[in-house]
Each structure stands twice: as structure tokens, then as C-alpha cells.
Amino acid sequence: MAIKDDETMRDHWRCFVACGLMVLSPFQYGIDFGLIGGLQAMPGFLRIYGHPAPETAIGWNISTVRQQLITSLMTLGAFVSSATAGLVAAKFGRKACLWAACLGCVVSNIIMMTTTNINALYIGRLLNGLANGYFMTFSQLYIRTSSNSSSLQESSPAKYRGLFLTGFQFCTSFGTLIGTIVDWATASRQDRSSYLIPLGLIYIVPLLLTIGMFFIPESPRWLILQDQLDRGHKSLQWLRPAGAQVDIEVAEIKAAIDKEREMGSEVGILDMFKNPVDRRRTVLAVCGVTLQAATGSMFIISYKAYFFTMAKVSDPFAMGCVLSAIGLLAIVLNSFIVVRYGRRRVLLMGGLGSCGILQLIVAVVYDKNPGAKVTGEVLVALSCLYMMSYNGMVATYAWLSGGELPSQRLRSYTFGLAAAVAFFAAWLTTFTAPYFINPESLNWGPKYGYIWFPSSIIAGIWVYFFLPEVHGRTLEEIDEMFEENLPAKKFRKYQCVRRLAMDEKTEVQHKE
């Protein structure tokens, strides 16, 4: 059942409330990245976990290994929890998994705030990563799989799916900005309060989510998948506008699930690769989400304050706030594009190309004149342009493309795998970056961009040849196009036979 063109956002206000609550999850993820990178450039933090380094701009530094583990253990934990999301999702609802994430986040933060032992800090970071993996995976599954039945998304109508997922990316960037601003405000403190105050922010989202989820329904598709038709019906009634044909929608979801079960009574991890269609969709989903990592974004997002400090940029924490604010502005501008234009392929290729070229220019400029004031100014300006390109054209569409392409019956497994690979790529970047930017190791600084230029260009070429355009398509239409084995370039203009038949049937029913 397609959404009527005359239905407005006001008609779907309950759905917007539910999905609005879900997008607090990426806010939590963004706060973590905004905070942790800044802590590593704070004297108050470095007095406990670092060591004196008179040759650096702030007189303190942290060892490469500690820097690697503090940042990368979070993404490693997210990788582990995302990789197991498919198994967990088969038995537990989206809300139950998010409540577990809230508990894990609070426990991890208690550890990080009460310890001065580096090993305990590592444990806290790993637990925090496990929680963030669940936050990012299950909140997106809820948004993607609670919408109208013809798209078989759980919550968000297909008409507004891009907007919700843009909101998802907006909250990630907004969280990063808030974390960066708080770091800036406390960086001058010389005691533990410099980093304990920022860490205190981590309690806010788990508290709001824990309470808020008592007032929204479980994913209707997940309930129907568990043969809980009555609860699924009630969930849809809550999410849909008054007068919506919920009975028809439940029947469509049930029919689609039954069809999926006919194709395989038992669905497991290996089913993602058994037949050519599922294998193609799995590879596309995984590679689509991983496009973010190809730009080297995690290196800038995770270490911007440290990176600017060691590159001798004036007021590095303030410049980190400017960088985060520019990234947030790009998301806002993008919200006007994703619903009206939405051409994923074009925007992704443009964004990847821009990010790669800007990384190259940053590397060349710093290589020619390192340490100069004008170089620092150029570095900040180019980094802002980079963040505009990344947030505006890559980050949103990477998650969006990766989330729309998995096979229906394998959605939890495939999206869990895609998120896990994306987190693994993020972990690899955050783990290896200190070797390149830390003065105690290679000390490349901004020259690290030489690596990310070819990576971004190769990713853009892959999008051109392999990533299909599915803007405005329901998931049933996407199923049909994949079953027809269409090449990526033909997806956008393809006329779906089943959709035409469904529209004709609906017209007949309305006449009757």
C-alpha cells in the first residue's frame, strides 16, 4: 500500500515522534567521537594518561599505542556488536536491543569516569563501542523497517525515508559538534574535570531513550515476523495516520514474509551468499556503507583537535568546533536535496571525488610549507570544505544506499554485516592514523591525505559502475529489479511490472 500523495507530515506525526526518538542514537555516537578526539589534546587528560613532551605545541603528548587503543577500541566494540546484530535481531526486538545498549553505555561511562588506570579505560572504551554498535544498527533498522508495507520499512514511510536518514546523519554530526564545543570549553582546565565534564554528557541520551521507548511501539514488521499479528496490527495503527488501511498493510507484510519463508524455511548467515541475487545485494549493501571509510573521514573526525594541535594551528579546539559546525551545515543543506533530488549515485560520485581532491591538496600544501601560520589557515579552510563535501554528499547517502539494498528476508543479517564492515573500516582508520600523525611515529601530519586521495577516487569509480539508483522505489520494486538482474545504470528508468499491476488493482478497489 503506497502512501497517498496528499498525506502530510502532520498526518504522520506519531511516526515522526518514534523515528525522532530513534535518531538520538547517532547523537550518542557523534558525542563520543566529538569528545574522545579532543581529550587527547587536553593537558588535564594527558597528565594522567600521557607524558611530558616539551617539543610539542602543548608540552604534552600521548604514546602512539595508547592513542590507538583509546580511540579504536570503541569502533572495534561497535564492529563486534554489529556483526552479531543479525543473530540477536532474530530473537529480540529493536527496543530490547536498544535498552541493552543504554545499559552498556551507562556502565562503560561509569568505568571511564571513575578510573585513572589505562587498562580500565580500555575496558570502558570497548564496552562503549559494543553499546554504540547496537545504537547505530538497531535504530536504523527500526527506522527502515517500520514504514508502509509496500516499502516494508519498519517505521518510516518511503516518502520520508531519505529525510529520516538525513536526520540520522544530522544527529551524528550534531552530537560531534556538541562534544567538540564542550571539549573547547573545558580544555584549559588543568585537572581531571577537563575530561570528566565532557564524559558526563554520555549519560543524557541513554536516559532519554530508556524512558522514551516506553511510549512508542515495537517495529511492526518485526512483530509480524514473530507471528504476533495482533501486536503488529496495533503497532501499525499507532504509527499510521487516522483512517489508514492498516488491515491491508498487515496482510501485505504477512504475504511478503510468507513468500520470503517459502524461499527458505530457515534463514541463516550463509544465505546472504548462496544465490547470485542475494550475494549481489549483500556485496552492494556492504560496499555502499563502507564508502564513508574510503574518504578517510574517521581520521579527521576522531583526531581533529589533536591533528590541528600537532600541526600548530592557532586555537585548535575552536577550529575543531568550526569544522564540526560546517559539517552540520552541510547536513542541513542536504535535507533539502535528499527528498527533492535524491540521486544517490551522482551525489556520491561528486562527494567522493571532492573529498579525494581536497585530501590531496591538504597533503601537498602541508608538504611544501609545514608549520607556517598561513599553512594552518589553509589547512582549516580546506578541512571545512572537505567536511562539507563528506557530510553533504557521502555520509548520508552511503548509509542510505547500504540500508535500502539488502534482501528483505536477510535484512537484519545483511545490514548487520554492512554496519560491522563499516565499523571495522573505521576501526582500521582510527587504529592506524596515530602511526602517521603522531610526532613520536611517522609524524606525517596532514600528509596523511596522500593515502586517501586514491582511495576516494577508486570508491567513486565503483559507484559509477556498480551502485544502482533506487531513489523513490519501494522495497518490493527493488526486489523486482534485482530479480530481473538489471545492471546498475538501468535501475533509475526501469518500469516495474508489479507496481503497475498493484496500482491498477488499487484503482479498481477504490472504484468499488
pLDDT at 89 over 70: yes
Q: Averaged over 426-441, what is the pLDDT?
A: 91
Q: Which of 131-140, 371-380, 405-414, 443-452 has the lowest mean pLDDT?
A: 405-414
pLDDT at 342 over 70: no
pLDDT at 445 over 60: yes
Q: Are 303 and 458 in contact (CB under 8 A)?
A: no
pLDDT value of position 73: 93
Res. 367 pLDDT band, cuts 50 70 90: very high
Listed residue (453, 406, 418, 507) closest to 152, CA to CA:
406
**Top-confidence residue, 152 or 227:** 227
Mean pLDDT of the residues in the chain: 85
pLDDT value of position 2: 43
pLDDT value of position 268: 76
Q: What is the CA radius of gyration of the chain?
A: 23
pLDDT value of position 510: 46
pLDDT value of position 340: 64
pLDDT at 502 over 70: no
Q: Tell me: the pLDDT tens digits for 67-83?
A: 999 999 998 998 899 88
Q: Averaged over 364-381, what is the pLDDT?
A: 90
What's the chain's length in residues?
512
Q: Averaged over 487-501, what is the pLDDT?
A: 78
Q: Averaged over 251-256, what is the pLDDT?
A: 80
Q: Tell me: the pLDDT tens digits for 120-149?
A: 999 999 999 999 999 988 988 887 665 443
Res. 172 pLDDT band, cuts 50 70 90: confident
pLDDT at 503 over 70: no
Q: Are strands 60-61 and 51-52 parallel, antiparallel or unpaired?
A: antiparallel
Percent of the chain with pLDDT over 90: 45
pLDDT value of position 285: 92
Res. 1 pLDDT band, cuts 50 70 90: very low
Q: Tell me: the pLDDT tens digits for 19-58?
A: 889 889 999 999 988 888 899 999 999 999 999 999 888 8
Strands (DSSP E) found in 274-344: none
Res. 266 pLDDT band, cuts 50 70 90: low
**Top-confidence residue, 165 or 61:** 61
Q: 51 — phi, psi (to 5°)?
A: -155, 155
Q: Averaged over 206-232, what is the pLDDT?
A: 91
pLDDT at 3 over 60: no
pTM of the model: 0.79
DSSP for 358-425 reads HHHHHHHHHHHSTT-HHHHHHHHHHHHHHHHHHIIIIIHHHHHHHHHSS-GGGHHHHHHHHHHHHHHH
Helix extents (H) in 40-93 = 43-49, 64-83, 85-89
Q: How far apart are CA 148 and CA 145, in angstroms?
A: 9
